[in-house]
Structure 1
Amino acid sequence: MSEITHQPPDQQLLSLSVNGERHELLAESRRTLVDALRHDLGLTGTHVGCEHGICGACTVLVDGAPARACLMFAAQAEGREIRTVEALGEGPGGRELGDLQRAFTEHHALQCGFCTPGFLMLAEGFLAERPDATKEEIREVVAANLCRCTGYQTIVEAIDDCAARRRASVCEEGSCG
């Protein structure tokens, strides 16, 4: 990474931790996190939809909790751990689908795909907090994001299936009581 020697007055040097890697960038104070992720860091899996925090296409995890990247300034992300959809992959270089991504594929929960990264990150944060969630709770959580292809039922089924598999995996490892 090259060293930045001159800082324009309307910009600030930011150090962001994204998907476990530290990134430094110069950004205007008003630069949103979604724009910094997409345009400065090249992480285009986070989509820009409504830019008003309504649709959820820009959902990322901030310190493990789902957050709308279009409503957050990049400067607000300093000192916090950001996870994007690119971090969900498994295997060498994260090139294989993660368990949640596989569940979405198996249950046909991706229709046009535009909203999918936001749903994946919303679900990832929710399942980390509520691994024993019921379908009703999952349905209520996914209502926070918009899908114009009306894929909610298959999205709920995919998240529920992933949660069940994760619980079974924990039990197989002997961590069930």
Structure 2
Amino acid sequence: MTLETDVALLQGVPAFEVLTPEAVRILAISADQQRLARGDTLFKVGDPADCGYVLLSGRLELSTDGPGRRRRLSEVLPGALVGETALLIEVPRPVNARALEPSVLMRIPRGTFLRMLEGFPEAAAHLRERIATRLEATIADLDALRRARLEAPVRPPLHRR
């Protein structure tokens, strides 16, 4: 792919739509492509996270490990950013990511992303607003779940005769 193609692909990622073309160009210049065959693991729960990935083609499954089985959380389609938290902070991967079919990803290193934000403070402000909005929505969802669990009627125990 050409640099211009990579820039166009990154500009189509919703998380990057607040970035200027120059900021996206910086990300594209430092990004590496990674190919996965069907069934290949991109990362596992607990792996160190030092980058985010943009899925260019294919499909990924995000899952968690449960007692004796894997629980599927979501399917990722082209154009999605995977592991965006790792672009900002050092944190272990919270999920597993596995290719459901042959896939091509663009790997964006955290260091590059943070340097881009330093050079484009307006982009950092837009991203901060976007993250704050998503965090507020997540907190509201968690509060609703907590209330539902705490306020759910308690079933009396079944009596056997």
TM-score category (smaller protein): under 0.3
Larger RCO of the pair (alpha carbons < 8 Å, separation 6+): 2
* TM-score, structure 1 normalization: 0.26
Higher strand share: 2
* TM-score, structure 2 normalization: 0.28
